[in-house]
Amino acid sequence: MDLQRLATASRLANIDAFHVMELAKQAAELERAGRHIIHMGIGEPDFTAAEPVVRAAEAAMRRGVTQYTSALGIAPLREAIAGYYKTMYGIDIPARRVVVTAGASAALLLACAVLVEIGAEVLMPDPSYPCNRHFVAAFDGRAKMIPSGPAQRFQLTAQQVETHWGEQTRGVLLASPSNPTGTSILPDELARILKAVRTRQGFAIVDEIYQGLSYDAPPVSALSLDDDVITVNSFSKYFNMTGWRLGWLVVPDELVGAFEKVAQNLFICASAVAQHAALACFSPEALAIYDARKAEFHRRRDAIVPALESLGLRVPVKPDGAFYVYADCRGVNHPSAGDADALTQAMLHDAGVVLVPGQDFGPYTASDYIRISYATSMENIEEAMARLGKFFA
């Protein structure tokens, strides 16, 4: 084969593979060899869609509402999502500003397609969700990752936005609560960040995918602070519908046409069955199920944080949302303390527990941290903590 002919585009050089996928492959091999592995690497709820949603999907298939929809999504779902903002945050969002997408992933991709100029710089915290820098790179922008340590809840500050905003900077990409840290940006700081961005005529994309899983205080949407923010959300996490591929954006009125045009071209529409099924997410019956599951995540958070601390995995900022803990591995009793990559390898092979090394989320102090996902049963969490207890003994 003529390899030269099939050379990849140069932008591929800016897109990295996940370290955790390598660990997942090794875990699968160990499982094939008969080992019992506990998966705490994955960022996916262990629950699946609530029963009313499954019934709605079946009914949608029987009714044959399985054809393309409008690129912006079916009208009742856009209205239901707008209604969700009213009940959840007390804010009025017109349904015409809601863009239904194939997950938050497609939402972020669309937002970057619409807003990121070639060569434009987008500020984001380091650590961040790995795909964020790659969404920007996919449109030939440049993610500028700003070191964001525990003193600032692993999130950008307004001061940093002001300091790092350069000639080529066009906007910020934030997530609150964050993956990998489970920490939110405090509302006052978020308001200051949005003001700094607005003063510079930039854009703010705020990923609120984990807001439904906020444990310590009612979540505050960036939309209640600034109407021009582009917010991203999804049915994947709170609604436990990862594989259904459904999410949404709320965009300013004047951008709806641009998002529609790009969505038509890139995706045509989000899954029709998933859209019709998702209408049932907002029924009282489904919301009661989801709230009970959220309470279960909360219970796990409260159990796992002290358990990790007692293993020497210090948690410098208590996560207030999502299902992740970002723990400092420098103080553990192991030769690979402070080398997250080697430590997660050893944890997999010697203890049979999959965790994610900080390296996946950006270079800043990456080897000091590991991400633990508690999107698994309490039984698994207890077993994993017991195994790690022996591993560090």
Ligand X SMILES: Cc1ncc(COP(=O)(O)O)c(C=O)c1O
Total residues at interface with ligand X (CB under 6 A): 13
Q: Is 367 in the site for ligand X (CB under 6 A)?
A: no
The string over 357-392, giving b where at least 16 C-beta atoms fall within 10 Å of a residue's C-beta and e elsewhere, is: bbbbbbebbbbbbbbbbbbbeeebbebbbebbeebe
Q: Choose the stretch contacting ligand X; rule: CB under 6 A; options: 101-109, 116-124, 187-195, 375-383.
A: 101-109
Instruction: Please report how close the Cβ of residue 112 comes to ligand X at its closest, in angstroms.
Output: 13
Q: Choose the stretch contacting ligand X; rule: CB under 6 A; options: 89-97, 102-110, 182-190, 325-333.
A: 102-110
- Cα separation, 181 vs 327, in Å, equals 8
Window 179-198: contact mask with ligand X (x via CB under 6 A) = x-------------------
- Cα separation, 135 vs 110, in Å, equals 9
Q: Is 219 left (phi over 0), alpha (psi -120 to 50) or beta?
A: beta
Which residues neighbour 213 within 8 Å (Cβ) at sequence distance 6 or greater? 177, 237, 238, 294, 297, 321, 322, 323
Q: Is 207 in the site for ligand X (CB under 6 A)?
A: yes
- The correct pick among 57, 122, 156, 175 for binding ligand X (CB under 6 A) is 175
Instruction: Please report how close the Cβ of residue 94 comes to ligand X at its closest, in angstroms.
Output: 23
Instruction: Please report how close the Cβ of residue 364 comes to ligand X at its closest, in angstroms.
Output: 17
Q: Is 177 in the site for ligand X (CB under 6 A)?
A: no
Instruction: Please give the structure tokens belonging to residue 353.
Output: 């527990």
Residue with tokens 């996946």: 360
Q: Is 242 in the site for ligand X (CB under 6 A)?
A: yes
Q: Choose the stretch contacting ligand X; rule: CB under 6 A; options: 4-12, 98-106, 266-274, 367-375.
A: 98-106
Provide the edge-to-edge strand list for the sheet that holds 247-250. Answer: 98-101, 247-250, 230-234, 203-207, 169-175, 121-126, 142-147
Residue 127: cis peptide before it, omega within 30 degrees of 0: yes
Instruction: Please report how close the Cβ of residue 177 comes to ligand X at its closest, in angstroms.
Output: 9
Q: Quick check: 136 and 116 in contact, CB under 8 A?
A: yes
Closest by Cα among 86, 375, 41 to 210: 375
Q: Is 247 in the site for ligand X (CB under 6 A)?
A: yes
Instruction: Please report how close the Cβ of residue 32 comes to ligand X at its closest, in angstroms.
Output: 26
Amino acid (1-letter code) at residue 41: G
Instruction: Please report how close the Cβ of residue 99 comes to ligand X at its closest, in angstroms.
Output: 14
Q: Choose the stretch contacting ligand X; rule: CB under 6 A; options: 100-108, 289-297, 326-334, 343-351.
A: 100-108
Name the residue whose CB lies closest to ligand X. Answer: 103
Residues in touch with ligand X (CB under 6 A): 43, 103-105, 129, 175, 179, 207, 209, 234, 236, 242, 247
